Amino acid sequence: MFPTSTILALALGLNIHQSSAACSEALLREATERYVATQSTGNLSWFSSLLSPNATYVENGKTLTGWTSSSLASSNLTTTLSTPFRIDNTHSIYDLTQCGSFTALVVTDPSNPHVIGAQVRLGTDNKISKIDRIVTTPGDWLFNATGTLYYTLQEHWDVIPVEKRDSREVIKAAADAYLDIFKNASVQVPWGSPCARLEGGAYTGRGLPTDSCNVGVIQSYDMPNRRYIIDESVGVASLLLEFGSIGNAPDSHLFRVEGGRLRFIHTMTYCEKKPNSGTTPAHETPFPLPYKHRFSQETSHTAIDSGKLGIPSALP
């Protein structure tokens, strides 16, 4: 299953800052964990102290104006981020070259299910300079939070031994090739075998060694405005982009690359016109029902409501 990050350091009031001329992994992780804590509690003040005065907030391709540390402190902003969610699972990757992270959140609450992907970037002042989010709900492309959670917990995105890791260039090239084939069918995509694709809540994998991600794409469309977060330690690339074949819809693609080949692909796509941008997807794969929450000790902490982890009501 996915490795998950926790906010125990924050709950215990620990200071994990590090001084470095380059990107501080500890500070990047703290910013990411404060972001998760913010979404869990709906309290924007969780990360206001780490927010750059000129920070940018983007949600589903639209930039929110008036997003500053002072406006957060006054609690005058209303965004999806200010809505508290009981989060069932989180998965974060960290890019120390670009000093950014990507976090996927899954919320299966039947009254308000969400699947959210966010790139959080730090600027040269070691403050959060940009939060770029794809927020999906019922009616978005193949949305099913329960299916997303179920299949997510079946997969393994573990740290890759140093001697077996692919370079940033190889990981990026594999991700780009997959997206480029939507425009040009002659592009050579490094398909892995097995490979499984989780598109919204629909899954192509059957748990077989012959599972393939090469199950067809809609052509011919560009996939523009790609924003990258790459973590070589786990062989993962996060790309936020405009999905050309669905009217340039705000989209997140997450790729796991092993040995230079695609192993897992996860997508979430916001559809302004619901459901599914007014189309009927032809390749939706059903998932087992009913699904009961079966959290292991490793994943149980990802429901990070304040009661479960003992987050203090007073902010550190």
Which tokens go with 198? 């989780």
Report the pLDDT value the prediction gives residue 45, as an integer from 0 to 100. Answer: 84
Whole-angstrom CA distances from 164 to 4, 12, 129, 161, 257 are 22, 36, 33, 5, 11
Report the pLDDT value the prediction gives residue 139, as an integer from 0 to 100. Answer: 94
The residue among 104, 137, 135 whose CA lies nearest residue 265 is 104
Report the pLDDT value the prediction gives residue 20, as an integer from 0 to 100. Answer: 38
CATH topology for 162-278 is Nuclear Transport Factor 2; Chain: A, (3.10.450)
Cα first-last separation, the chain: 31
What residues does 92 pair with on adjacent strands? 103
Note the CATH number of domain 8-140+295-309.
3.10.450.50
Q: Is 252 helix (H, G, I), strand (E, B) or coil?
A: strand
DSSP H helices, 62-212, are 69-73, 145-152, 168-180
For every one of its 316 residues, what pLDDT tens digit does the chain have, with 9 covering 90 and above? 544 443 333 333 333 333 334 899 999 999 999 999 999 999 888 888 898 888 899 999 999 876 665 565 554 556 789 899 999 999 999 999 999 999 999 999 999 999 999 999 999 999 999 999 999 999 999 999 999 999 999 999 999 999 999 999 999 999 999 999 999 999 999 999 999 999 999 999 999 999 999 987 777 889 999 999 999 999 999 999 999 878 889 999 999 999 999 999 999 999 988 888 777 664 444 444 333 332 222 233 333 332 232 222 333 3
**CB of 89 closer than 8 Å to CB of 2:** yes
Report the pLDDT value the prediction gives residue 44, as an integer from 0 to 100. Answer: 85
Which H helix or E strand runs over 8? helix 8-11
Q: Would you list the DSSP string of 177-191?
A: HHHHTTT-TT----E
Whole-angstrom CA distances from 198 to 62, 76, 91, 184 are 25, 37, 15, 22
Report the pLDDT value the prediction gives residue 17, as an integer from 0 to 100. Answer: 35
Q: Which residues of the chain does CATH 3.10.450.50 include?
A: 8-140+295-309, 162-278
- Cα–chain-centroid distance for residue 207? 23
**CB of 1 closer than 8 Å to CB of 299:** yes
